[in-house]
């Protein structure tokens, strides 16, 4: 591929969390991905990140069954509870 996606979503697990938060996020930022979501199905959380100048900034952290309106899909408001079923 020659074009980076605008958004990626990683589903964290205990065996891959360090890789997902470390090396993979660094690669995504280097390649020009601008938005990342980290979903933790055990903790029932969603972290929304945005890359600026090669660094990830947390825009929000959501948990439980909350409705989420988050970049880059802030035109919709999905409920997190649907992920934990």
**pLDDT tens track of the chain, all 85 residues?**
678 899 999 999 999 999 999 999 999 999 999 999 999 999 999 999 999 998 999 999 999 998 999 999 989 998 999 989 8
pTM of the shown model = 0.91
B/e letters for 35-71, b = 16+ CB within 10 Å, e = fewer, are bbbbbbeeebbbbbbbbeeeebeeeeebeeeeebebe
Quick one: pLDDT at residue 2? 79
Token look-up 């020009």 returns 32
Quick one: pLDDT at residue 32? 93
Quick one: pLDDT at residue 24? 97
Quick one: pLDDT at residue 1? 64
Token look-up 């825009």 returns 59
CA distance 4 to 32: 6
């Amino acid at each position: 591929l020659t074009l980076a996606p605008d958004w990626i979503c990683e589903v964290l697990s205990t065996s891959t969390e360090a890789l997902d938060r470390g090396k993979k996020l660094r690669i995504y930022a280097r390649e020009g991905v601008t938005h990342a979501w980290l979903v933790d199905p055990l903790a029932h959380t969603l972290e929304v990140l945005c890359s600026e100048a090669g660094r990830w900034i947390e825009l929000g952290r959501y948990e439980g069954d909350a409705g989420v309106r988050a970049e880059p899909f802030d035109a919709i408001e999905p409920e997190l509870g649907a992920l934990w079923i």
